[in-house]
Amino acid sequence: MTAPRATYLDWNATAPVRPEVAAAVADALELGGNPSSVHARGRAARQALNAARASVARLVNAAPDEVVFTSGGTEANNFVLRTFPGRRLVVSAIEHDSVRAAAPEAAIVAVGRDGLADLDALDRMLAADRHPALVSLMLANNETGAIQNLAAAARIAHRAGALIHSDAIQAAGKIAVDFRSLGVDAMTLSAHKIGGPMGVGAAILRGGVEARPLVLGGGQERRLRAGTENLPGIVGFGVAARLAGAGIASYDGVARLRDLAERRLLAAAPDAIVFSGAAPRLPNTLCIAMPHVAAATQVIALDLAGVMVSAGSACSSGKVARSHVLDAMGVASEDARCAIRISLGWGTGAAEIDHLVTAWTALYARTRASAA
């Protein structure tokens, strides 16, 4: 039996490692020096580390000395949420689990049915309690792709004397992200979302913002995260950041493919529901429900047909769980349980969209026939 051809449409979970990144990681493994050592190999390692830091900073228009490398986006989010003791936490209802779990006591900012944070509610919440706050609002949602009005949220936060952090992990590399013009105090990134290696991320802290160390025991990363840096991973992150920055314009084509997929899926399944379709969205993300067909059933059926998608976030140990994002948007539970996420990337072409539509249409026809 011939295996179905593979179509990967789960780029929001992880992007395939770029060949240039893999080569750079291999070279860094051969380098063999500790960036904290003062001898020749140590200096070479330090130079590679600094070059990568500059590339990551350039991707989001930050200064290199504002970048603190971590083991990934989850650690970076935990670092920021836990580094300002004495500040009450205010987070949006659609944040990633790594923010929600790090701030279980946080006040929650509601979102509308479009998936956009209610900034008037944020303004009222901050005005009602003048105790210093830290606000966390992601730039773009990992499930629906909805892009928040982060600059406006930052103005509201600062007017109330609050700091503001943004998880920009899904946005970086897909849309232009400008740390300076957005006006945030902290931002978090992850390498493997932009074609870099897994296990490396960054927290960006605006100059002048005082942070408490995440890990103690050494002077690395401005004494904010002790431990010998993951040089191969960081070098790969730097190369991925450079390539992602150069490739932003290519996402116009990705957006056209996403829109084509949306039109064709809705034509094949007229009762399907697109979430955050009227909001500004990442150019690569489509969250759609096939009514009366559970997300787990869709993911498995599409996988058997060679099409790889996901149900919501991929950060739940492989589980297909109910989406807190769709719940927060007020989506009916019977529709939310049928939602899948289709996410494209720079390697997606028209053939992948054809494959998706064919598999989706076949599944839709089977489920409707069995219900008849």
Catalytic center residues: 315
pLDDT in tens, 294-312: 999 999 999 999 999 999 6
> Which of 331, 329, 313 lies closest to 321, judged by CA?
313
Q: How many CB atoms lie within 10 A of CB 1?
A: 3
- Average pLDDT score over the chain: 94
pLDDT in tens, 271-291: 999 999 999 999 999 999 999
pLDDT in tens, 134-170: 999 999 999 999 999 999 999 999 999 999 999 999 9
pTM: 0.94
Phi, psi dihedral angles at 311 (to 5 degrees): -110, 100
pLDDT of residue 130: 87
- Cβ neighbours of residue 270 under 8 Å, at least 6 residues apart? none
Burial label for 352, CB within 10 Å (0-12, 13-18, 19+), is buried
pLDDT of residue 85: 84
Cβ–Cβ under 8 Å, residues 189 and 69: no
Complete domains list, the chain, with CATH: 7-16+249-371 (3.90.1150.10), 19-246 (3.40.640.10)
